A and B are shown apart, each in its own frame.
Chain A
């Protein structure tokens, strides 16, 4: 399948035999961040840098910054809230996505 066209421009003639994708790993291009209605926010005063949020994130979109704190990649974060639920020190709070 053509990786260069936008999804909305791909025609049925562009689909490869068996709808195989010849550019493996292109699921990374798929934005899931726009599914989000609630957004996690980290309070660095409460964070003990334990990394439990990083371990539990089902999307694998939480990363560690150079100071050892954690943050979400909002291109992928679906706002599921698991990180906030699991955080031992309640350092993560879920709040409405800004419009």
Chain B
């Protein structure tokens, strides 16, 4: 397939079209708008045979998605920032009901002050909603991981909703060269959707029922165990995607990390900048590498532990503030994952790239140098990179 130049948002819409979604229910919000705008156009001009439900809010968008997914329809939506927060309570219903909805999230900072630009504040606020969450770092991945998301979500052993995170503007609005796929290729990867208990008058079921204290814990344990167990299946699906596309993804991806004494850890588009920084440091003879966390939920504990076991210092970037809490949600989760390990690196956390602020390779280099000092001292101070004053 020929390479095309395409915006990340439109690549995601193309993936939804090739997945032949049945229902799109969405509300436009910057920087996600191009995704659902393009899908609306596809439905209007006959490129995509789907029901497009223009709702009056994100709360309604996700509620409509619950209904269509429960009826057995392949369902897609997209949102960002405040829109994701407005959906918040309904997100738990989607995972609790095990409805395989796929949602693109063009990550955006949260008010106040108002910002339409990218960071991970919106993602971190929905961390525990029980959705599978993957992070793309370029336009190709926005396309690829959206296709993988449908396959993962709908696998009979998974049946969980999936969020595909693309950084607002840095991915959603940047035109990049990427490869699309032929319909036959997609069809060989993504079988038709079959939900085990669809809403059907001939075999009625009760969904989302009231649960008394004597049963709620069992229901949550059942759901949590199921989500945890999707780790292995996600690996298999990534491998199968490599079979059809030639592009291999993993829960934890590494860059020049083999003999590294210091590792950076990033999620999303800044991984690409961090790779430049790693190259610069390697050119100077320093043993520095990069860990890119592709899968945020279910958290890839084993892969992460394995990836960092031989380094001395791990420097984690968070694009979100946990006010008056531990220094960044990703960093605190990484630390928690390593606490039980006999052999573990010192960990330093930085916060940066907030509200669309660019991070340069030089700033990643600075994080590595400063991180080594903080990590060795065991500091808990929150350090914001690139902040004035």
Give me the interface of A with B, judged by CB distance under 8 Å. 7-8, 10-22, 24, 26-27, 30
Contact = CB atoms under 8 A, between A and B. Distances in A.
B204 interface: yes
Contacts, number: 57
A24 B206 contact: yes
A22 B205 contact: yes
B96 A14 contact: no
A14 B222 CA distance: 8
Nearest to B214: A7
B342 to A, nearest CB: 32
Interface of B: 96-99, 159, 196-197, 204-207, 209-212, 214-215, 217-219, 221-223, 225-226
A27 B210 CA distance: 9
B215 A7 contact: yes
Contacts of B159: 17-18
B218 A17 contact: no
Contact of A22 (B97, B197, B211, B215): B197
Contacts of A13: 222
Contact of A14 (B196, B207, B214, B218): B218
B367 to A, nearest CB: 43
21 contacts: A12-B218, A12-B219, A12-B222, A13-B222, A15-B215, A15-B218, A15-B222, A17-B98, A17-B159, A17-B197, A17-B226, A18-B97, A18-B197, A19-B211, A20-B197, A20-B206, A22-B197, A24-B206, A26-B206, A27-B209, A27-B210
B154 to A, nearest CB: 13
Contacts of B215: 7, 10, 15
Nearest to B224: A12
Contacts of A18: 96-99, 159, 197, 207
Contacts of B212: 7, 30
Which has the most chain A C-beta neighbours within 10 Å: B159, B206, B210, B219? B206
